[in-house]
Amino acid sequence: MNNTRTKIDWTLLAKYISGNTEKKEKAIAESMIKNSNNIKEIINDSTIIWKNSGNYKNYSFDANKAWKNFINRTQFKESAKKRLIVKYWKVAASIVILIGLSYATYFYLTDTIKIESGNHIKQLVLSDGTKIDLNKHSIFVYPRRFKPSVREVKLIKGEAFFEVYRNPKQPFIIKTEIANISVLGTSFNVQVMPAGDLDVTVADGKVAVHSKISDQQVVLHKNEKAILDHRIKQLIKMPNDNINYLAWKTRMFVFKETSLQEVYQNISKVYDVHFEIADSAILNYKLTAVYNNLPLDNLLRIIDRTFQLNSQLNGNQIIVKRNK
């Protein structure tokens, strides 16, 4: 990235956008754009927004006021001003457009919302129609309006399930600290683990996961997952064998000859509790059952009766013992 400070000639850029540059001027403008990522982004976004200006019906810009301010700031004589108005009215219009759209680009594309879910699951619908379920203890950041060329959001902490509205011309990218997840339209789960690892599981469609720490990339399809281990810096693709990965959202558990160790791990995640097992042999018991949206105490009571156990709930701690 070129961080050299570039002097911006807005008049020249306005002529460039409107197609009124001569060959030498065009080369200078293109060099200016090439050497500054900030200018490049403003030019690209402003051009796209202008072409799709119907999406911004509520946006207003006082062109007359902008033009008067421009004239008043110049040091020309009155006759020179008149010649300038006649000769460069297209350029002036471009300047107004560029200033107005640069402001609109800044206003619409930098206004972000930060959601902290706390102790509750939250549902969101973004401006493009994408639906998100945000798990407890998660932090998610998104813009009020997406850029015309790309839809970017950030999952800073926690877990979220995405149902992305399909738009091939506007890819959807989820940024985390160690990876980017790119999609067009699909449904999938993303978990940023407390230790810093990443887990991505696809329910439907196709997802690309790109590691920032190892420069690896994998493409996932339905019922596949990827785990990025930040310690060994390795991105691993595998089949998803956890049918309860969305239980935090659906409150449904499906167990098929599942050890109580795994059962309790699933319950811990969904209900935000911690188990203490008095006898480790209990963890080897196998459970086959389906539970749908049960309160925690009911769920524990059913499991206790199945295996002759006694679960004592104290706050967010559960002590499991054998019945005497």
Per residue in 33-78, pLDDT (tens digit) is: 777 666 666 666 555 554 554 444 444 545 555 555 555 655 544 5
Q: pLDDT band for position 261 (50/70/90)?
A: very high
Burial class (CB in 10 A: 0-12, 13-18, 19+), 159: buried
Token duo for residue 140: 């998610």
> Could you tell me which of 114, 109, 116, 190 has the C-alpha nearest to residue 151?
109
- Does the model's pTM come out above 0.85? no
262, 275 in Cβ contact below 8 A? no
Cα-based torsion angle of the residue sequence 236, 239, 243, 247 in order, rounded to the nearest 10 degrees: 30
The pLDDT tens digits for 218-245 are: 999 999 999 999 888 999 999 999 999 9
Instruction: Spell 218-246 as b/e; 16+ CB within 10 A means b.
Output: bebeeebbbbbbbeeeebeeeebeeebbb
Q: Is CATH 3.55.50.30 the right assignment for the domain spanning 247-322?
A: yes
Query: Is the distance from CB of 213 to CB of 233 less than 8 angstroms?
Result: yes
pLDDT band at 4 (very low <50, low <70, confident <90, very high): very low
> Where do the structural domains in the chain lie, given as residue ranges?
10-109, 112-239, 247-322
At position 307, the amino acid (one-letter code) is: F
In the prediction, which pLDDT does 46 show?
Answer: 58
Calpha distance 193→209 (Å, rounded): 16
**CATH classification code of 112-239:** 2.60.120.1440
